[in-house]
């Protein structure tokens, strides 16, 4: 139960701080309005450092269903714990999104653009092309998963685990994130997208579930590929 709670709390913090960074940079009359892509990528990376740093000693710090599923399917994580981890991660992502909504509740009505409001909670492609968008998420998550797997197998010192994973996210965001917003994590996209769908946000637009399958399927495929590739490193 402690591990499930740690995954819940870690994913909650991941979404709260990641989506909070976007809200600060994009919502009207925030002190941070006008923040650029670098702001969002750095904030997202530090959010991962915090999430993994808190949850890692207890649960391994997956905070990502794609990572959990990939590790389990390649024999690096007990399959009987997968369902509990996924439930905790998705619930944590939803709770983190609700907290972002509450923290910025006076800014939703002041922000006119519904795409900006949705963008606080979930990703969207810069150029909409399902094959290209899917491939982008697969590649980005494969890099993340390979890095996480090398960490869990002891090829990277465990003492730097939060900074290692945060550094991976920083590099992926800067190098590959401009195409889709680098979801890399179904709990970071699908759970907040569901929150955006359900919460009473003034002027809420389409949650775009037609695209929403890509940040689920892409990271899942990428996670499997990345963990598999890491096996060649020892």
Tell me the average pLDDT of the chain. 97
CA-CA distance, 74 to 60, in Å (whole number)? 16
The residue assigned the tokens 């923290």 is 103
pLDDT score recorded for residue 234:
64
Considering just the CA atoms, what is the radius of gyration of the chain in Å? 17
Alpha helical stretches, state H, the chain: 2-26, 37-59, 65-73, 82-103, 114-121, 130-152, 161-176, 186-198, 209-212, 214-230
Torsion over CA: 91, 216, 220, 166 (sign) = negative
CB 178 within 8 A of CB 126: yes
Average pLDDT of the residues in 61-87: 97
Supply the range of the domain harboring residue 144.
Answer: 2-233
Using the predicted structure, report yes or no on whether residue 130 has a pLDDT greater than 90: yes
Predicted structure pTM score: 0.97
The CATH code of the domain that includes 180 is 1.20.1080.10
* pLDDT greater than 70 at residue 63: yes
Of the pLDDT bands very low, low, confident and very high (cuts 50, 70, 90), residue 162 is very high
Specify the pLDDT at position 120. 98
Q: How confident is the model at residue 219 (pLDDT cuts 50, 70, 90)?
A: very high
Look at the chain and report how many structural domains it folds into: 1
- Confidence grade of residue 3 (pLDDT, cut at 50, 70, 90): very high
The secondary structure of 39-102 as a DSSP string is HHHHHHHHHHHHHHHHHHHHH-----HHHHHHHHHTTSS-GGGHHHHHHHHHHHHHHHHHHHHH
Q: At what angle do helices 2-26 and 82-103 cross, to 10 degrees?
A: 30
């Amino acid at each position: 139960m402690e591990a499930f709670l740690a995954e819940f709390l870690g994913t909650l913090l991941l979404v709260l701080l990641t989506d909070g960074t976007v809200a600060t940079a994009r919502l009207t009359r925030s002190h941070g309005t006008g923040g650029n892509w670098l702001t969002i990528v750095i904030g997202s990376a530090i959010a991962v450092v915090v999430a993994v740093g808190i949850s890692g000693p207890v649960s391994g710090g997956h905070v990502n269903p794609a990572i959990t599923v990939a590790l389990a399917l390649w024999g690096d994580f007990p399959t009987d714990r997968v369902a509990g981890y996924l439930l905790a991660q998705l619930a944590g992502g939803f709770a983190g999104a609700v907290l972002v909504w509450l923290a910025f509740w006076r800014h939703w009505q002041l922000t006119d653009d519904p795409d900006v409001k949705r963008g606080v909670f979930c990703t969207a492609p810069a150029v909409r092309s399902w094959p290209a968008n899917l491939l982008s998420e697969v590649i980005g998550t494969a890099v993340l998963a390979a890095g996480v797997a090398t960490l869990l197998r002891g090829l990277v010192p465990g003492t730097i685990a939060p900074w290692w994973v945060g550094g991976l996210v920083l590099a992926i965001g800067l190098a590959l994130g401009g195409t889709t917003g680098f979801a890399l994590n179904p709990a970071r996209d699908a759970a907040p997208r569901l929150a955006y769908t359900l919460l009473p946000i003034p002027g809420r637009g389409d949650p775009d579930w037609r695209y929403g399958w890509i940040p689920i399927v892409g990271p899942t495929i990428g996670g499997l590929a990345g963990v598999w590739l890491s096996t060649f490193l020892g």
